[in-house]
Amino acid sequence: MRRRQGVSGDKLDEHQMACFDLAWCAAESSTAHFAVDYVYKVVAANEAGHGVSLEERMTLAFCAEALQNIRNRLFARPKTFGLNEDDLATLDASALRHFCQSQLDAGNLEALGRQIIALNGASGSYMLGHDATMMQDSFRKLATNVVMPLAEEIHRQDRIIPKEILEPLTEMGCFALSIPERYGGIQSDDHEDNMGMIVVTEELSRGSLGGAGSLITRPEILSRSLLKGGTEEQRQKWLPLVAMGDPLCAIAVTEPDTGSDVAAMRLKATKCDGGWILDGAKTWCTMAGKAGLILVLARSNPDRSLGHKGLSMFLVEKDVYEGHDFEYRQPQGGLLTGRAIATIGYRGMHSYELFFDHVFVPDENLVGGPGGEGKGFYFIMAGFAGGRIQTAARAIGVMQAAFERAVSYSQERKVFGKPIGEYQLTLVKLARMATLLTVSRQFTYAVGRLMDQGAGQMEASMVKLFTCRTAEWLTREALQIHGGMGYAEESPVSRYFVDARVLSIFEGAEETLALKVIARSLIDAV
């Protein structure tokens, strides 16, 4: 039988606009699908309820908005999608138009906004199980009582995450969430449970994205990578230590000239007696200074025509540094230097440029041992799937914090004699904010459950794409509701806004996810 060829990358690049729009259509329709499933569960859990619930109203409004967005994209460029007049007529059916118009009517959204304010900013039932609810409650208290009081100082003074946050998180098992019990973690040995990781991330990100919410990402990626490709000796040695937060870890994949094009990376790994020598540069390596262990993807085969098949993964050990710059000299003579990159937000974690000058890595730290040589790309991709769903959870936490502030301020601030929350435009904004927050949360939870079943890889990319762009819009609106105070650094919403901007960039840039992952997979499945 002749093997089916994959989709041509060059052909996809010739139609980037269509691919990008297609990915967004798929992401929004998937969000709507999971939102409808969510409403059915809410209705089933509240059989005694009467009338249309808040969850139903929000889901209907979102489905109408998603349909309108999809219709607009296809109508704007029908030739790009190969659509004819008959196809467009189907999309313009009167029933579809009536549904969208009735749900997106200003009066309907205003009434939804009033309902949300009457419920003190409630945005729908979470529909979590007992264990996840307990974890949510515990970490919400920690975020409120420990993280939030330090969040502004970390952001404004560009501080490294302090021990006042790290120590209680370690005690509560924050770094052990994705590590199986047999390796000292709290994940079941029998099956995955992503929901704990998701709700913990969500609550910590509500407290501070850079000061707490992103701490789980690196252990998540490293542990999944080792579970996918590490030797049993490597798992036994490193996973219990990572679970205890000692050492903290970092992930070095991105390079200055390659960005999201992992297969084009150049950092060179050269075989030597007893190990490997690393030479080259990495960038956007978050937490590299304070990390004692860095997972590094490097080119172990000099034949660049091999692309991603010439990459291997290494565990690089180093000393811990508190500052914005560090210089680590190995006994063997190698030198690893790092410099924190100044950023508009996402402070606390600090992302570094790294320079490897003849850095020695022993053979035992080649992930997978000799059999892992050339397989580093596949190992890191296993880690990134977890990183994407975790990033969606981070986006939800930031959105939740911004939404809470927006609802509260809309009741406090008076303009022309009454609170701004009584004006129609503000009510519509709050209705859309609550709706998008809720459907984003439920999409993320649904993908987490899919991943527990060994599926959901494509959906993890779609939920990351959707929630991160949504977080940018929602935090922008929260800032706008605050007016001039929102632009002042003393207001937390200014931090939420600049923090949210990074979400569409890291753990898979928006364009890369849309063009190289989602669109490619959709077309390849046809």
Q: How many residues does the chain have?
A: 526
Q: Which residues in 221-287 belong to E strands, given as ranges?
A: 249-252, 268-272, 275-286
Q: Can you name the residues that pair with 285 across neighbouring β-strands? A: 352
For tokens 């997978």, name the residue. Answer: 368
What's the rounded Cα separation, in Å, for the pair 121 and 18? 38
Contact call for residues 193 and 453 (beta carbons, < 8 A): no
The phi-psi region of residue 121 (left if phi > 0; otherwise alpha if psi is between -120 and 50; otherwise beta) is left
For tokens 């085969």, name the residue. Answer: 301
What's the rounded Cα separation, in Å, for the pair 327 and 366? 23
For residues 317-341, b (16+ Cβ closer than 10 Å) or e, as one string?
Answer: ebeebeeeebebebeeebebbbbbe
What's the rounded Cα separation, in Å, for the pair 526 and 523? 5
Hey, what's the torsion of the CAs at 256, 508, 216, 369, to 10 degrees? Answer: -70
What's the rounded Cα separation, in Å, for the pair 441 and 480? 23
Indicate if 507 belongs to the active site: yes
3 state DSSP class of 508: coil
For tokens 């937000």, name the residue. Answer: 345
What's the rounded Cα separation, in Å, for the pair 342 and 171? 31
Q: Of 65, 220, 507, 510, which is the active-site residue?
A: 507
Q: Which amino acid is at 361?
A: V
What's the rounded Cα separation, in Å, for the pair 144 and 124? 21
What's the rounded Cα separation, in Å, for the pair 175 and 184? 10
What's the rounded Cα separation, in Å, for the pair 463 and 392? 6
Residue 469: both structure tokens together? 């762009």
Residues tagged active-site? 507
